[in-house]
Amino acid sequence: MPSELLLDPDRLHVHGRRLSALLADLAPLPWVDAATRDGLAATPGGPAVLAELDRAAAAVDRAGRELAALAAALHVAAYAAAAADDAATAGLAALTDRP
């Protein structure tokens, strides 16, 4: 990751918004409705397929929570980078404004 990304609050917010949009797209993903689950459960091998689908759904759910945490962290990092930039600017101004 380029170091300038770490220092650019606007880009950090953009990446946070992109992750949030990705999560919004994943949220309504229909895995298996109740009728399909009942049909699968009644077929040979169906319970194993349902168990695998449940594991996949749980993995996507965990990944979604991790992406949400990353998006939040990007926004926090953006605010911290902006505050650090403001402090550095004020510090430089104080140094250069000396008589």
Residues 49-93 have pLDDT tens digits of 888 888 888 887 888 888 888 888 888 888 888 888 888 888 888
Q: Work out how many domains the chain is built from and give that number.
A: 1
Tens digit of pLDDT for each residue in 6-58?
567 777 778 778 877 877 776 655 667 888 888 888 999 989 988 888 888 88
Does residue 4 have a pLDDT over 60? no
Nearest to 61 by CA among 30, 26, 32, 36: 26
pTM for the model: 0.56
Range of the domain at 39: 3-96
What is the predicted pLDDT for the residue at 99? Answer: 56
Measure the N-to-C terminal CA separation of the chain; round to a whole number of Å.
Answer: 41
3-state secondary structure 7-53: HCHHHHHHHHHHHHHHHHHHCCCCCCCHHHHHHHHCCCCHHHHHHHH
**Could you tell me the two tokens for 32?**
């298996």
